[in-house]
Amino acid sequence: MPPAVSKPRPRISRRRAPDYAALPTEQVNPGTRRLDRLSAPDLVATITAEDRRAAASVAAVREPLARAIQVVASALRGGGRLVYAGAGTSGRLGVLDAAECPPTFGLPPGRVVGLIAGGRRALWRAVEGAEDRAGDAGRALARLRVGRADVVCAICASGVTPFALGALRAARRRGARTLAVTCSPSPTLAALAEIVIAPLVGPEVLAGSTRMKAGLATKMVLHTLTTGAMVRTGKVYGNLMVDLRPTSAKLRARARRIVAALTGLSPGAARALLSRAGGRPKLAVLMQRRGLSAPAARRVLAACGGDLGVALEGRRGR
């Protein structure tokens, strides 16, 4: 019997582990080394002073953020989706922003999606090790059938989280547009994302606790990104959310105020008009201002891409 011939093992490509100690998000803040000795009022003063730095860091990235708004608006106009992907605090912030879009802007659920490493249970309890499973991100994008019409935005405070980087790699393979939000820019992110939005918040008050300044800056970037994209796609008239879904008492009252403000009607008349418009403030305003029936107003809005400004004032498309 001939001796068994051992086959050479295939080489497994291993990416070098990041030097976590060198990450900006892991540095020790020299101004807060005596944090544990501060009084409660001094703790508040210290933390809020650092938070102001986070806000300033977002203002410093307005150019890439503006470009990202245009990318997302273009995708949404074309029927595509914005898909956030992140782990831990970053993932929760993405899910939060995605969840707010349908009631605020009348966007169908599923047009802005939040993916978090570890799945739904990771929203309220840490799932240990989930952030290190890059393949999970690719499988999640495959289940969503992400493609060329979509935009995938990795949220990655440290810049090295495997789940977020895996989402970008999978998105590129699937032909989707790619964005990244991080507080630690790197050549890897620059190679994977078309646009990197990187507010530089500096070391955290509590060393390594990216739920603080990094989380605050990330929240500001995300709500600016989606609000800006919704404005650009006609979901806002002036500074009013004319496409909101009045699914609660508070939102129903807001819808009535919007209609009354834009038509000059009394609260009671605005309520009646909204009822005829199926609860849609945008449709109600167009009906009143143009003297249209609900079906006719729907046709006009459809012809104007759903943009009330275009329907009322003949503005050019955005």
Q: Which of 26, 128, 131, 313 is catalytic?
A: 131
pTM for the structure as a whole: 0.89
CA dihedral (180, 182, 186, 187) in degrees, to 10, reads 0
pLDDT digits (tens, 9 = 90+) for 216-274: 999 999 999 999 999 999 999 999 999 999 989 999 999 999 999 999 999 999 999 99
Cβ atoms of 156 and 165 within 8 Å: the answer is yes
CA distance 115 to 129: 16
Average confidence (pLDDT) over 128-149:
93
pLDDT digits (tens, 9 = 90+) for 11-33: 333 456 778 778 888 888 999 99
CA dihedral (52, 225, 62, 173) in degrees, to 10, reads 120
Which pLDDT score, from 0 to 100, does residue 315 have? 66
pLDDT digits (tens, 9 = 90+) for 32-81: 999 999 999 999 999 999 999 999 999 999 999 999 999 999 999 999 99
Closest C-alpha among 8, 168, 159 to residue 83: 168
Tokens of 304: 């104007």
Closest C-alpha among 21, 18, 26, 19 to residue 183: 26
**Known active-site residue 26:** no
Average confidence (pLDDT) over 279-304:
95
CA distance 240 to 203: 37
Which domains does the chain show, CATH number per domain?
24-232 (3.40.50.10490), 249-313 (1.10.8.1080)
Q: State the residue for tokens 């403000």.
A: 261
Tokens of 95: 């899910």
**Known active-site residue 313:** no
Average confidence (pLDDT) over 286-299:
96
Sort strands 195-197 and 177-181 into parallel, antiparallel or unpaired: parallel
Residue 9 has pLDDT above 70, yes or no: no
Residue 196 has pLDDT above 80, yes or no: yes
Average confidence (pLDDT) over 87-105:
95
CA distance 288 to 141: 43
Which pLDDT score, from 0 to 100, does residue 14 have? 46
Q: State the residue for tokens 């019409």.
A: 149
Q: What is the CA radius of gyration of the chain?
A: 24
Q: Which of 100, 128, 194, 313 is catalytic?
A: 100
Residue 296 has pLDDT above 90, yes or no: yes
- The Cβ-side half-sphere exposure at 20, using a 13 Å CA radius, reads 5
Which pLDDT score, from 0 to 100, does residue 318 have? 58
Residue 10 has pLDDT above 70, yes or no: no
- Amino acid identity, residue 235? K
- The Cβ-side half-sphere exposure at 293, using a 13 Å CA radius, reads 2
